[in-house]
Structure 1
Amino acid sequence: MKFSVLMSVYKNENPEWFRESVKSIVEQTVKPDEILIVQDGMLNDDLYSVCDELKQCYPEIRYLKLDKNYGLGMALHYGVKACKNELIARMDTDDIAVENRFELQLQQFLEQPDLSICGGNIVEFNHNVDDIVSMRTVPYSMKAIVEYCKSRNPFNHMTVMFKKSTVLAAGNYQTFHLMEDYYLWYRMIKNNCQMCNLDTVLVKVRVGNGMYDRRGGFSYFLNERKLFTVMYKDGFISISKFCYVTLVRMVMRILPDKFRKVIYTFALRK
């Protein structure tokens, strides 16, 4: 089965992490025939140098250059449209894919022809890929995914492989700051798309570089509340669920960064 890998890079990415991430893709047990990397606005010289180097080494790489920085949602919006294959795997530019990730996901699509999206678990590390600090598991069955979506994101975004046609039918990625993926999964659920997560780790995720800091602040909470408001107005969640979820998330976002990190590491992860 042919498939594409979709990534997005912008000027503040770490060039070495970007290189390592792409390397983990091209060294898979089953390799993609297209790696589409969206350049979200102007990059710095080091990143352009890495882009040139990667293109010379891996001819399957193709770049989609955007005239300005649109943000992740619109970068992926344009990227999905530009991918040439029906199956598209997402990958972030600072993470490491487990070597048989694509093999496992392709097998699941073969076994379940009506499947629209397949994700999996992640482990998180700081700077050394072997220094695992936590693990995020996600629900596996369609029923569990729908229920989980009422309070938390049911997919680890960097692990998903999906069908282009069903993503486009749900409206594609849209601008929804920090909620681009969660909002898309919700719309796909409303479209009765079949979903699953594999009970295995597919990606090793880098959690350093201020990841927990970025998940704080009142503006982050306002974006979350906006999404849950949509769910409530659609009748997807009850008023009691809406109040509970938004209250918990507000507390999480206004906590000091060090306390939020502890909660993410020990309470919301394994």
Structure 2
Amino acid sequence: MAKVSVVMPVYNSEKYLKESIESILNQSYSDLEFIIINDGSTDNSFKIIKEYAKLDKRINVISRENKGIVYSLNEAIRLAKGEYIARMDADDISAPKRIEKQISFLKSHRDIDILGTQVKVVGNISNDIKEKNENKLNIEFDIYDDNREKILNYWYCLAHPSVMFRKDILRELKGYNDFKSEDLDLWLRAIESGFKIYKLKEELIYFRMHEESKTRVDNQNYEGLKDGIKIKLIDVFKREFKKDFKYIVWGASNGGKITKEVLDEFFEKSQCIAFVDKFKTGEFEKIRILHPKDINHIKFDYVFIATEPGKEEAMSSLKSMGLKCIKDFLSTV
């Protein structure tokens, strides 16, 4: 029986699929099964998968109509025979020793349940965008901490296709829930259940960014962002959404608008009393805009940070006021 089950959902990925499959088949650690779910592709993806399955018996192919990534992942988890489950995406590339290094670490650190890695961003995008996304994806984790605060405040700090799990914890958590941001939901449920997440300080995944990627598709109408905010609210407020609630949104732009929209859905009795923006004045969404230095003069229950460029400055400013992250404020972007 294989020690590791690599699971990879595939949907219309013919352009990058060969590189992705070969990066798993050519791993230095070979005791693995490779479960590939063809999720109703309409391009040549299934043909490519079948060609590789003829060459390597470690590949287990499932092909059916499209049911989405969450269904596919849970299906693969049910089929997995390995002690460990490694995620893989059909447009990314695993470094040759990725599986070997993750297995070695998990064997020597029995207290770690979910193990990611740092990534190298690739794709037909500018170097500035690559660097920006690498900075977000490669935030280091603390092995002595549950890393909940980082996962809540830094959106994509744990690259989903880089992760290896102990299979038992995935089954205890009953797999993935049906969210656009299914990985964020899983990380937070795992932490709440007492499982530990860590990330190797080595780039073991070539993380491809392109126009057809799941992240870009999910965010065409900001559905991924909205889902992520909802997941964070559920985790932080434990579904206690009926109380009167006065809040501030830091960021008078699109992120602030979306944040308020989701908050008003969750907190029916809530009231946004101000937006905060050091570059704007007047009103936004018919609500007054305050300069950061004026926050001390109003009463509020919570602050939601909805600006990516100003996130660090906002968090630093709020901490200097004696407010505590998660207890008093949270980043929604």
TM-score normalised by the chain length of structure 1: 0.80
Alignment partner, residue 121 of structure 1:
118
Displacement of 1:150: 2.1
Alignment partner, residue 64 of structure 1:
62
2:163 aligned with 1:164? no
Q: Within 5 A, what are the aligned runs for 1:5-154?
A: 5-10=6-11, 12-13=12-13, 15-40=14-39, 42-44=40-42, 46-66=44-64, 68-127=65-124, 133-134=130-131, 135=134, 136-142=137-143, 143=145, 145-153=147-155, 154=157
Q: Which has the higher contact order (CA 8 A, sep 6+)?
A: 1
Distance 1:82 1:101, change over 3 A: same
AA aligned to 1:102 is: I
TM-score normalised by the chain length of structure 2: 0.66
2:170 aligned with 1:175? no
Gaps of 5+ in 2: 260-307, 313-333
- Report the Cα distance in structure 1 between the residues aligned to 2:248 and 2:49, rounded to whole angstroms: 46
2:216 aligned with 1:217? no
Contact 1:218 1:250 in 2 (8 A): no
Contact 1:115 1:193 in 2 (8 A): yes
Judging by fraction of residues, say which structure has more helix.
Answer: 1
Helix, strand or coil for the counterpart of 1:25? helix
Q: Deviations over 1:130-184 (max 9, x none)?
A: 9x9332303322416222122234421010000111011122112112x111101
Helix, strand or coil for the counterpart of 1:199? strand
Alignment partner, residue 325 of structure 2:
none
Contact 2:38 2:45 in 1 (8 A): no
Distance 1:248 1:33, change over 3 A: farther
Alignment partner, residue 236 of structure 2:
232
Larger radius of gyration: 2
- Report the Cα distance in structure 1 between the residues aligned to 2:164 and 2:189, rounded to whole angstroms: 16
Alignment partner, residue 188 of structure 2:
186
- Report the Cα distance in structure 2 between the residues aligned to 1:160 and 1:97, rounded to whole angstroms: 11
AA aligned to 2:58 is: E
Helix, strand or coil for the counterpart of 2:204? strand
Of 84-93 and 167-176, more deviation after overlay is shown by: 167-176
Contact 2:5 2:85 in 1 (8 A): yes
Gaps of 5+ in 1: 255-262
